[in-house]
Structure formats: structure tokens, C-alpha cells
A and B are shown apart, each in its own frame.
Chain A
Amino acid sequence: MTGSGSEILLPRRRRRRRSNWRGLVYIAPAMALVIVFFIMPVLFTGWMSLHNWPLMGASRWIGFNNYFRMANDTRFMTALNFTAYYTVIVTIAIFAIAFPLAIFVEKERQFVGAYRTIIFLPVVVGLATASLLWVWLANVDSGFIGPALKALGLVEKSPNLLATFDTAFLTIVVMVVWKIAGFTMIILLTGLQAIPSELTEAARIDGAGRWQRFRHLTLPLMRKTIALALIVSVTGSILAFDQFYIMTSGGPQNKMISVVYYIFNQSFVSFNLGYGAALSIVLLAILMAISIVQLWLLRVGEERP
């Protein structure tokens, strides 16, 4: 007997309850995944963060001491500042590169497929692999960049790019933009292509110039796409770790230690897993706050006519 026949006879309330229950069954696998792989680890991390939890040996309950400790931890504050600085620079740089590229490859023209492929190619390289590649490129003796600059006569001596903060930071930013811009471009490209061509046509007929069309048509319609790309870029940058670990070991002189790198150091170099957990919880809170603000800004925009 199928369910539908008997359902008709059931009172309204019960029927609704049953369909709720059925809905739960449908989402149960997804919920199980979220509980096992997200909620439980977060709860466990929270639990750890209330302990003095060495990597080896027994743990001890210390309440919120790990959180109080953060307030006086200048190295953590430095890492936060650096991460914020890095996030702003990288996000701006990625947009400055990816947006024009997206516009460039949007129109159907000769070789456009090849352009798209070339720009997207670095995205499929792993971040660790890309970092190692750039370590080699930036090497003062055997690399490519320094000797090339020297050969072009731009510098007198091949520079050791990873040895000073400014050049090492620049190298990492360029590497990350090279690696990520293609991905942002694809997101933006999808948004651009979703704009109905009738609208652009109409605007053109009404006498809107290229810039006016971009400013008053493309940008407002791209709002959601840009927000998505922004959230992806900001979240990714705040969680940055591999490039600093591989390319400079956080140096020179510890000036490039991101928050995640600091958490890694506390957990697996100093073996303070409890403190590392507390830092992770704070980072999670920061990320959630930033994402909520970004999503809220997006919604505010939608309410406008």
C-alpha cells in the first residue's frame, strides 16, 4: 500500500508532522556529515581550548586561561595585523587583475578559449607546488627572476627576493595572484555572462557609453557575483598558511607569520595544543563575523530598488 492513499485520511496536523519527520530522514545523511566533520570537531576544539593540553602527556583543565593569555600575546597580535594587511592587499590585487581579465575573455573572439585556459591554468596547480615553484623562480643564484632582472639591466646584482620583508612579501603576493586570479576570473565571468544581452543592447540604443553601461548596468547586476568572489578571497587569505610556511618559513625575522601559521607553531612546534585550539576558536569567530558582515552588506544592497 502506498503512503499517499492513507495520508489523505489523516488529520491535517499529523500529516504535517509526518512530512517533517520524512524531511528529516532526507537530510539525515547531510546532517550526519555536518555533525561528524564540522560540529563535533568544533565542539572538541572548544573543549580542548579550556585545557592545558600538551601534545604529549596528560591534559589539565584551566578554564578560560588560554583566552586570557591571548590578550597579552604580542606575537598573536602581530600575526593578526599581518594577516589583515595581507588579506587587504591580496584581495585588492586579485580583483584588480581578475576583473579586467574577465571582461577581456567574456566576448567571443578568436583564441578566447585559449586565453581562458591559460589564465585558469595556475588554479589547478596545488598551492604547495606553486610555492615551491616560486621558491625556485625567486632563488638568487639558480632562479629565474633575479638573474633575468640582472640580464635586463634593471638591477646591478641579482637580488635575494626572499631575504627582505618587502621583496619577499611582493613575491608571495604576485605568486598568490598568479595562482588565484584565474579562479576569481571564472566566477566573475559567469556573472558577466548571466547579464542578459538585451539589457546591454537597450542601454546602448538609449545612448549609454561603454563606461556608463559598466557603471550603471554591469556593476549593479554583478553585485552577488562580486560578493561571492570577495568572500572566497577574504576567507582564503585569512586562512593563508602554505605559502608562508614553504616560501619563507615565516621569515625574514618572523615578519610573515599569519594567524594560521601561528596556530600551527603553537600546536606543533611548541606543543601547546590547548592554546592552539583557543586561537582556532577565536579565528573561527573572526571569520564568521566577517562573513556575516559581508552577507549583510549584500542583503542591504538587494533591498534597494
Chain B
Amino acid sequence: MIKRLLAATSIATLCLFSAASAAENVEMWVRTGIGDAFKKVVEAYNSGHENKVVMTEVPFSELVQKYATAIAGGQAPDALSMDLIYNPAFAAAGQLEDLTDWAKSLPYFNSLSPSHVRLGTYQDRIYGLPLSVETSVFAWNKDLYKKAGLDPEMAPVNWDEITANAEKIRALGDDTYGFYFSGGGCGGCMIFTFTPLVWGAGADILSADSKTATLDTPQMRKAVDIYRNMIKKDLVPAGAASDNGANFLTFTNGKIGQQSLGAFAIGTLVTEHPDINFGVTLIPGVDGKPSSFAGGDNFVITKGTKKIDAVKEFIEYVYSMDGQKIMAKYGSLPTRGDIADKVLEGLDPRMQVGLKAIGVAKTPYTLQFNDLINSANGPWASFTNAAIFGEDVDGAFSSAQSEMQSIIDSGQ
């Protein structure tokens, strides 16, 4: 009897060991709307490797909250594709694996997208590295330009031109509009597409040390005026006022003349909406100087996961020439500067605009990004909605300014 028990135990032990060395399933969460890039690279990886990545898409407005709750409940995935702006907060909370040594051992570490590495770093330790790089860019529909009697190859360089073009496009008829933005309750959309207007002009919504809200500037007032003016002239579909980000890609319906989008949308447009003939340029600032938001995702590894090596193997594949090419083909810009040119070789030339945007792009570094900016109930989201669609612009400025400050102060 004892013999038999021993035998059974040793077989069980053997099974355990062999399971440990055999293929692993890495559970990874990504936000919806990330485009095809990540899905395709996962497919490619899974078809050529023993380990598999099991990807779960979570609505992008809920990802942070779901991940935080999952960590608290011990149900978190092994890794997460996290909007880079949240990286500092999760690192500060001590919930992520320290990747410093491994990161620095990567031969191409110094050429990884610097903005991502900066956001992935907290108190000199690295907790996140770039997974997908996105910048915000300005897109225009060439067919609608042509129909409206505009030169389809001429990119607008300031907001007077954009407004004038929008009026001509709107004149085409009922459901054709000159401009679109997700304004209602999508703080994340507006930081991405709207703040470049003030960044280009040298202003910002937070001070450099993130300790002071600096929302109320002449540049921001000018930016608000530009958008209000377009609303007043009926150049923007009415749905913009209540869009919580669900219709961020409205440009793909072919009836929007111009819209600020993420570079990821270039890939989506090229692969899924080949009928839309569009041009891409940088988003002009209120004084004409262009800017952009350096966004996208870092990948992070949940503290304590047992599959850390499998995650690293997958990431090294993403960073390889093959991985980078797949990502780029479906719209994510190269994360590795050293091979960026080779990666983009033969691809849609409009991707180059996204790459160029990295040079002028900004990313705010704050531990309170969700509270301040991305939450549908945060001051930034209600500010853009109130200032652009509401009656009382001054009131919108003063209440958002003070609410931002009080959130910053309460978090110190």
C-alpha cells in the first residue's frame, strides 16, 4: 500500500515538474481599440512558440479599474498592456515587477521609445517598457476635400484653415461634417487630440512638477474658442457632445472631413477601411506650431506572477525585427529607434508622420492621471465638455482649475 502511494506521489511530482517546464499560457490584458497591431503580433507569436499568450480585451475606459480590482482580489493577469500614463501610479503602489536588470541587459535598451521608458520608470527603477507607440496626428479625408473644391494634397497648417475647410465640407450636405472629436465624457480622447493645441503654443495643463494645475491660460482659452466656434457653426456632428469615446473612430464612416486621431488609426484605416482616401499631418497648435501626445502602451508584469520568463520571451519577440514589422504593419509605430527606418520600409508613408510626431510629442507624468484626466467624472473631462459645449466658459475654467488643484493637493 505504502509502495503504491509512493509511486503515485512520485508520478504526481513528475507531472508537476514536467508541467513547469512545458508550455505556459501567459494571461495578458489589453484595452479594446488598441487596433490590430497587438492581436496580430500575438497570433504570430503563438503560431511559432511553445508558450502561448492568451489575450483578453477590456474596454479601455475600464481597464485601470478592472486591473486594480483584480490585483486587490488576487486575480490579476500575468501581464498587462497598460496605457503608459498609468504606469507611475501602479509602480508607486508597489504592484508591478521590477524589470530594471532585464531591461538594461537588452542590447537595444537605449533606443526604446524614451517617453515610454520615462513613464515606465518610478524612483529610478523600471517597471514598464514600451509595447505600442502611438502619437496623435491630424487626418483629413481627401475625397471630401476634392468634393468641396479644396486641394486634397494640401495639409492644413493652422486652425483658421481647418475651420474654413470644415465650412466648405459641411456645405456638401446633410450628414457630411467638417470636423469631429469625442468630447462628451472622454477625458482620454481630449488629452490625446485637444491638448496638442496648447502644447504646441508652449502652454500646459499641469506644471512641470505636476503639483500645480495650469489650466487657465490664454492658449487654452484660444483652443476652446476654436472648438466652440466650430460647434456654433454646426461643423461637428451633434453626437460629439455625448460621445464617451465609443465613437472615437467616427472618421472611418467617410463623412467626416477632418479629425485628430491616433497614429494607430492609420493602421486601422489602411487595413479595414481601404476605401477612405486620407492624408495625415501634425496637429497644429493654436499659434500654428504643431504638437502631439506621445501615447500608447507599456507592458507591465503583475508582481508575483510565476510566468515572468514567458512574458519576457514574448516581449523580446515583439522587439525583434519580425515583431516590430508586424506591429508597424497594423499601425503601431516602431518602439525601437535603432531599427525604425527598416521597420517602416515599404509601409504606408503616412506612418512616417506618426514617427515624426514623436519628436514634438509630450506625455504628462503624474500619479493621478486617472483622477485628473481620464475619469469620465474627472475635472478635465467635465472641463472640456463644459467649456466647449456649455454656456458658461469662465465658470468651466474656474471650477475645473480649482477642482484639479484640490485633487492634486489631496494626493500629496
Given A56-B68, A56-B93, A163-B389 in contact, is the A269-B238 Cβ separation under 8 Å? Answer: no
CB-defined contacts of A54 to chain B, threshold 8 Å:
93
The digit string for A196-209, where 1 denotes a CB below 8 A from any CB of B, is: 00000000000000
For window 359-386 of B, CB contacts with A under 8 Å fall at: 370-371, 375-378, 381-382, 385-386
Interface string of A239-271 (1 = CB under 8 A from B): 000000000111111100100010001001111
Q: In angstroms, how far is the closest chain A Cβ from the Cβ of B177? A: 11
**In whole angstroms, how far apart are the Cα atoms of A201 and B242 in the complex?**
56
Name the A residues within 8 Å of B244 (CB-CB): 249
Write out the residue numbers on chain A whose beta carbons fall within 8 Å of the beta carbon of B381. 251
Residues of B within 8 A of A49 (CB): none
Smallest distance from the beta carbon of B23 to chain A beta carbons, Å?
Answer: 31
Q: Given A55-B69, A56-B71, A57-B94, decide whether A251 and B382 contact each other with a Cβ distance below 8 A.
A: yes
Task: Give chain A's interface secondary structure class.
Answer: loop
A304 to B184, CA, bound (A): 54
Chain B residues within 8 Å of A163, by CB: 184, 238, 241-242, 389
Which residues of chain B from 82 to 120 have any CB-CB distance to chain A below 8 Å in the complex? 90, 93-95
Cα distance A168–B381 when bound, in Å? 17
B-chain residues with CB within 8 Å of residue A168 when the two chains form the complex:
242
Contact of A252 among B69, B72, B238, B241 (CB under 8 A): B241
Q: Which residues from chain A contact B375 at a C-beta distance below 8 Å?
A: 265, 269-270
User: Is A160 part of the binding interface, using a Cβ–Cβ cutoff of 8 Å?
Assistant: yes
**In the complex, chain B residues whose CB is within 8 Å of the CB of A248:** 185, 242
- Give the complex CA separation of A163 and B231 in angstroms: 13
Q: How far is the CB of A24 from chain B (nearest CB, A)?
A: 35
For the complex, give the distance between the alpha carbons of A156 and B359 in Å: 47
Q: Which of B28-81 contact A (CB under 8 A)?
A: 65, 68-69, 71-72
Q: Does B218 contact A (CB under 8 A)?
A: no
Most B CB within 10 A of own CB, among A249, A251, A253? A253
Q: Is A162 among interface residues, defined by CB-CB distance under 8 A?
A: yes
Residue on A nearest B379 in the bound complex, by CB: A254
Shortest C-beta distance, B73 to chain A (Å), equals 10
B385 pairs with A251, CB closer than 8 A: yes
- Contact between B185 and A56, CB atoms less than 8 A apart: no
Bound-state CA distance A265–B371 (Å) is 9
How far is it, in angstroms, between the C-alpha of A249 and the C-alpha of B244 when the chains are bound? Answer: 8
Query: In this assembly, does B202 line the interface, its C-beta being within 8 Å of a C-beta of chain A?
Result: no
Q: Assuming the A-B contacts A249-B185, A251-B382, are A268 and B377 also in contact, with contact meaning beta carbons closer than 8 angstroms in the complex?
A: no
B245 to chain A, nearest CB (A): 10
In the complex, chain B residues 144-196 whose Cβ is within 8 Å of any chain A Cβ: 175, 184-185
8 Å CB interface, A251-305 against B: 251-254, 257, 261, 265, 268-271
Cβ-neighbour of A56 out of B94, B377, B390 (below 8 A): B94
Looking at the complex, which one of A140, A157, A158, A254 makes contact with B377 (CB distance below 8 Å)? A254
On chain A, the residues within 8 Å of B95 by CB distance are 56-57
Q: A250-B376, A252-B184 are in contact. Are A56 and B72 (CB under 8 A)?
A: yes
B-contact bits for A212-253, CB 8 A (1 contact / 0 none): 000000000000000000000000000000000000111111
User: Is A139 an interface position by the 8 A CB rule?
Assistant: yes
Bound CA span A248–B242, Å: 7
Interfacial residues of chain B within 232-248, with CB under 8 A of chain A in the complex: 237-239, 241-242, 244
> Does B242 contact A160, Cβ atoms closer than 8 Å?
yes
What residues on B are CB-neighbors of A7 within 8 Å? none
A265/B377 in contact, CB under 8 A: yes
Taking a contact as CB atoms under 8 Å apart, the answer to whether A253 and B90 are in contact is: no
With A56-B71, A251-B382, A253-B382 already in contact, the answer to whether A141 and B376 are too (CB < 8 A) is: no
Tell me, in angstroms, the Cα distance from A252 to B175 when the chains sit together.
24
Residue pair B184, A251 in contact (C-beta under 8 Å): yes
Scoring A residues 127 to 151 as 1 if CB is less than 8 Å from chain B, else 0, what string do you get?
Answer: 0000000000001110000000000
Q: Once bound together, how far apart are the Cα atoms of A268 and B389, in whole Å?
A: 28
Which of B94, B237, B238, B376 makes the CB contact (< 8 A) with A251? B376
Give the CA-CA distance A105 to B377 in the complex, in Å. Answer: 43
Per-position 1/0 for A149-179, Cβ under 8 A of B: 0000000011110110000100000000000
Per CB-CB distance, the 3 closest pairs between chain A and chain B, nearest first, are A163-B241, A249-B376, A56-B93
- Report A's interface with B, CB cutoff 8 A: 54-57, 139-141, 157-160, 162-163, 168, 248-254, 257, 261, 265, 268-271
List 16 A–B pairs whose Cβ atoms lie within 8 Å, in order of A's numbering: A55-B69, A158-B238, A160-B241, A168-B242, A249-B184, A251-B184, A251-B377, A252-B184, A252-B185, A252-B389, A253-B385, A253-B386, A254-B382, A268-B69, A269-B375, A269-B378
5 further A-B pairs in the complex, CB-CB below 8 A; given A140-B237, A160-B238:
A140-B238, A140-B239, A253-B382, A254-B377, A269-B65
